[in-house]
Amino acid sequence: MTAKGERRKVKGKTLRTRLFYMANLLLLFNFLLFPFAFSLVGCGKKGNPRAPELAMPETIRDLRGQTAPEGIALTWSRPLRYVDGSELRDLAGFVIYRKEISAACPDCPVPYRERATVSVEDQQKFMKTRRFRFVDQELTPQLTYRYRVFSQLLDGSLSEPSNEVEVAWRR
């Protein structure tokens, strides 16, 4: 038995000294070894980082629109590269925007509204679709429509807008 105030000895060292060494070892692990262990894990980097503005698809420049028996047909080519020139691999689809131009006020500012999304379903195929087509059938007679198309990546980001096309629906 030990009297009050006496230190208990464990294998030649006091209990307090032993606890002090254990606490120091834990601090050493937390401040030196723990960050080193995480630096060995890595982040899964697969290539050099790119600025976000370079990771967007080239702009669609050949959007065309014309009237068809079933509505207004839009056609455009698939972008093949990012704006930095590297091959485009994560194209998810296209987002089509439309605005209505009234004959009563052709200069009135009207916002574009999202009209449709066209999915790209040939990601894993050897032969990829080169031209896309969309037919807008939700039309009002005697209105003129203006369209733009954006490419959309798998992460949801959009390209710059395509050229605009304007088509009058008279039926």
Would you state the pLDDT for residue 17? 78
Return the residue matching tokens 């050949």: 62
Would you state the pLDDT for residue 89? 86
- The sheet carrying 64-68 orders its strands as 64-68, 71-77, 131-136
Would you state the pLDDT for residue 170? 87
Give the domain CATH number at 90: 2.60.40.10
Residue 3 domain flag: no
Task: Tell whether 93 and 148 lie within a shared domain.
Answer: yes
More confident position, 92 or 2: 92
Task: Tell whether 15 and 75 lie within a shared domain.
Answer: no
Closest CA to 91 of 164, 157, 162, 148: 157
C-beta atoms surrounding 63 within 10 Å? 19
**Model pTM?**
0.68
Section 101-122 average pLDDT: 89
Most confident listed range (2-11, 30-39, 131-140): 131-140
Task: Tell whether 33 and 60 lie within a shared domain.
Answer: no
Q: What is the 3-state secondary structure (H, E, C) of 49-111?
A: CCCHHHCCECCCCCCEEEEECCEEEEEEECCCEECCCCECCCEEEEEEEEEEECCCCCCCCCC
| Residues spanned by the domain of 27 | 9-41
pLDDT tens digits, one per residue of 122-169: 765 566 778 999 999 999 998 999 999 999 999 899 999 999 999 999
More confident position, 24 or 68: 68
Task: Tell whether 21 and 95 lie within a shared domain.
Answer: no
- Mean pLDDT score across all residues of the chain: 82
Q: 104 and 110 in contact (C-beta within 8 Å)?
A: no
Residues near 160 by beta carbon (within 8 Å), at least 6 away in sequence: 56, 59, 150
